Chains A and B, each alone.
Chain A
Amino acid sequence: MVNQTTEHTLKANTVVQVAHSVKEALELKAQRPLSSRLISGGTLIQLEREQGKVLPEQLISLEQIPSLRGIEETEDFMIIGAMTTLSECANVECLKTVIPTVASPAVRNRATLGGNLMYTCGDTIPALIALDAKVTVVDGAEERTVSVIDFLPLRADEPIVTHIHIPKESVESFFYQKVGFRKSFSKSQLTVSSMLCLDNQRVQNNVRFAFSDGERAAMRLTSTEQALVGQQLTKSIIQEASETLRKELALIDTATTYQRTVAKNVFISELINRMEGSFE
């Protein structure tokens, strides 16, 4: 008898459903709230699968929802669809220093901004906090727009992110640095970002400092911000801010000494760089 080989495959455990509108995605999600998950670029989900996480029974793809793609410019905002890839986002002026630090070119061609915001410690999050970005989310029937920092705890309910609105503030006043384990394509050890607008060397009200430890959700460093608001950026103010920052970072008990020291150093170096005439 001929030795026949028939291929046996296991029953697939995961079904991918393609939604064509946000409404349809919501309906699909409502059908199996506990055993489904949205998928955009799928790069995080792929990473998690490689790490041994089991895929849910249903993946709801947002790829075929045109309204979630693209970048629109209004007078005050850059409005970015959640399904816009990181590679496309690199064209947005204020994200020019941010996007190249995330993953690799190939990953960025698939990865989306919405997906990055939903990733616990997505590298764009500290930047979006510093930029005071807002997020539009649809949760059940409701659609709302909230600031990124307020959005972070809402992620647990798995809403659909539809758009990210970035105010067109001064790009020169924006700062971002990711500290990885090598020069590119690395997990973050820590990521910091700030917005520091100066008028005649005086710190304006919209000062924002954000910190992420590369594991947990990013946070704002409000005491440090308070110490700077309205102050003239001088050596002694920087010295004071440095001390406040040190204390504020010390309160983050999940952070390592290395992370705290580097975060402080990097922020302070940015203040020094911004101070007129320093190190000249």
Chain B
Amino acid sequence: MSKSRKRPDGNAKVTGELKYLTDRTFPKMLYAKVLRSAYPHARIRSISTERTKELPGVEAIITHQDVPGVNGFGIITPDQPVFCDDKVRFIGDAIAAVAATSIEVAEEAIKRIDVTYDVLPVLDDPEKSLAEDAPKLREDGNVLYKKNFTKGDVNEGFKRCEAIVEETYHVPRQMHAYMETEGGVVVPEADGGITVYMGTQHGFKDQFQLSRILDLPKESIRIVSSPMGGSFGGKDELNVQPYAALLALKTNKPVKLHQTRAESVISSIKRHPMTITIKTGADKTGNVIAHDVQIVADTGPYATLGPAILDFAVEHSAGPYRFEHVAVNGTSVLTNNAVSGEFRGFGGNQITFALENQMDRLAEQLEQCPTAFRKLNLRGEQDLGPLEQRIVPTTGASDVLKNVEQLKKQIETRKDHPFLRTGVGIAMAMHGGGLGFGRLDGAGGRLSLSDDGKIDVSFGFEEVGQGIVAVIEELTTEALQCDENDITITIGDTNRVPHSGSTTASRGTSMVWHALERMKQEFKEKLCEKAATLTGEPKDELRLGTGGIYKGEVQVLTYRSLRKQLHHDDQVVVETSFDFPTTPDEVDGGHYLYTFAGVLAAVEVDLLTGQVNVTHLHQAISAGEVINELGYKGQIEGGGVMSLGYSIMEDVVMEKGHYTKPNFDTYMLPTISDVPRLTVDAIEKLPDGDGHGPRGVGEIGTVAVAPAITKAIHDALGIWINKIPVDPSIILQAVEKEGGTWWNEFENEQPIASHK
């Protein structure tokens, strides 16, 4: 079995041959544009569309008055208005939408919609929102959600500590920056329903949310959602689907809505910026005794998955370590900034940056090797999970740490160039998969023999670029011992797929494996039984293979002829539905399956400019069996590069609720020139008897990169970084404070020329 098989969707994507949903056009199609707010916080006094109506080519203008159902969306709570009626709460809030015969007319039309506002004070920082006299963004105040966790008594714990580190960390608002911006086409159907051709991570959830907004039965809404050009968590929540849907229903014509990059920046969700204050103390020998964590997340004005992300950050506050006393207080605060929501890593990246920095600072204070210090505090195979819940036994934590420790020993510290300093840092992370205890987390799949004699394997997952199609192909051919030409894969269409849950939380690969484990035997038996009846061969001697059914090494029937010889109504279908495995302990949100990452980063710091050049990023991942080598590497390397951006360049800066970097000319993402040497070690071993199969690796490659990079900077220069992205001017200041290391050397050294 070739584990490095090429992605079935690879060629078409690389050559540009593949048509994305946003590339589709339909006869009589109209183009839509959405009018977004002019202010981050204001009361809407009036909305007038009079001047728009005169414009030839405008076919529909809609506002809050045109929403037949619930005027709101949100995966958990529908609190984000489809169209604002009385108030706008961030600069991406929608007020109206237009459908016209061309994009130009639609653009002109939204300019002609007159909105008058009473401007309100802008809460552009959680601190401002939490102030006593702050205006309230919702009736019950500006705290969206609080989550606490306590174990033991930290105050007692600190009394026994010899070394204590207290620090505040700041992590930025990051953009998903998927290549394909939000959009697609909504087509009205003859039966009064619609088909939505738009990327999402969860077609059935979109169907549910749209049915609530449009006041249409779910069955009347078909969501076609794959393939899409990237998501990274950014398209799990609804985005522009409601506008195109409402306009399509109103005009009875297909409506295309595809956001420009600038429109996407304004309206899309972002990664939560967080301010994390931690006090951590250890005894003389290095055992961490107490760990006190305060997390404040800027969640923007609406909920989306803000609460779940805070839960995740709180859960992972002590990461892969076992500390005696832990207290975590998390607060997700409403502001007039961008809506923060789901993003690869789901709150883990933020807390891991802070936690790993604490570990390094404490090790330094104790004059211990950071790796030895980590080992001392690391969880064991049978230990409880971070919320004191039972989890699947795992040696992942020590396995990944050993791996990076080995590599660090091999890396020779190279002689420094006069204007450069080099350094190496390591960091690690533990990351839960699935949605966690108490959350609806159903999955499922279907195998069938289709009319053309192919084995159709079907899931409700989406191909967002992560490679789920390759995973399905690999696992199905392995489970059924057939080859890729024998199967068809059906995903991304609510009319044709079973419920599998969302393509999120690193659950895809894991759920495909579980589903096939449940279905394969029954499916094989059904096929062999039919084949036995048709051929007269004993059923027990038949098996599935490439191209058909075999007895020993002899093919007795092809899948095609098997299908042909069956009566039309004699369908061979096996379906399964089940839940993502969760901890048996009733710990809300607690995870059961965890993956681990150990990261080593090597950097070169330019003493002249303060700029950081990451030269090597190594990740050791413990996530069980590798299903597809290229896909696995792609996830870890791609995740690493994404987090390199998070560490040294990306920040969606907002001033007074406005974006200061409205497009990719100023919002810096890593380009191929910034990509360092990348290496990945997959640690596939799982404890004996682990029946949970491969874990997903969609997120783990992003989680522990930032602290490894900042530790490498510390190794190079001796300075601690508590804010990312790393600001070169801070590094330069530190260098200059010492009189400029290189300059001192120059001044104090005798250049050879003057010896002569």
Contact = CB atoms under 8 A, between A and B. Distances in A.
A275 B740 contact: no
Given A181-B668, A183-B673, A184-B671, A7 B101 contact: yes
A179 B754 CA distance: 32
Contact of A262 (B100, B665, B732): B732
Chain A interface, >50% SS class: loop
Contact of A47 (B665, B671, B736): B665
Interface stretch (A18-26, A202-210, A219-227, A264-272): A264-272
B425 to A, nearest CB: 20
Contacts of B749: 279
Given A183-B673, A235-B754, A262-B608, A8 B57 contact: yes
Contacts of A183: 613, 671, 673-674
Contacts of A6: 101
A187 B746 CA distance: 31
A277 B671 contact: no
Given A5-B30, A10-B105, A258 B671 contact: no
Contacts of B747: 235, 239
Contacts of A278: 746, 751-753
Q: Which of the four size classes fits the interface of chain B?
A: 35 or more
Contacts of A172: none
A6 B56 CA distance: 10
Contact of A8 (B101, B613, B666): B101
A73 interface: no
A30 B742 CA distance: 56
Contact of B752 (A258, A272, A280): A280
Interface in B727-756: 728-729, 732, 736, 740, 742-743, 745-747, 749, 751-756
Interface in A1-46: 3, 5-10
A278 B753 CA distance: 7
Given A8-B102, A185-B671, A279-B746, A3 B665 contact: no
A277 B756 contact: yes
B126 to A, nearest CB: 27
Nearest to B663: A50
B655 interface: no
Interface string B104-126: 11001000000000000000000
A269 B30 CA distance: 59
Contacts of B740: 265
B38 to A, nearest CB: 14
B49 to A, nearest CB: 17
A257 interface: yes
A10 B649 contact: no
A75 to B, nearest CB: 35
B8 interface: no
B104 A10 contact: yes
Interface string B659-693: 00001011010110110000000000000000000
A234 B747 CA distance: 11
Contacts of B253: 3, 5
Given A239-B747, A269-B419, A276-B753, 6 more contacts: A183-B613, A183-B671, A185-B673, A277-B753, A277-B755, A279-B749
12 contacts: A3-B28, A3-B252, A5-B253, A7-B57, A9-B57, A9-B105, A51-B663, A182-B673, A201-B753, A258-B728, A277-B753, A279-B751
Closest 4 CB pairs of A and B: A8-B57, A277-B752, A277-B753, A265-B608
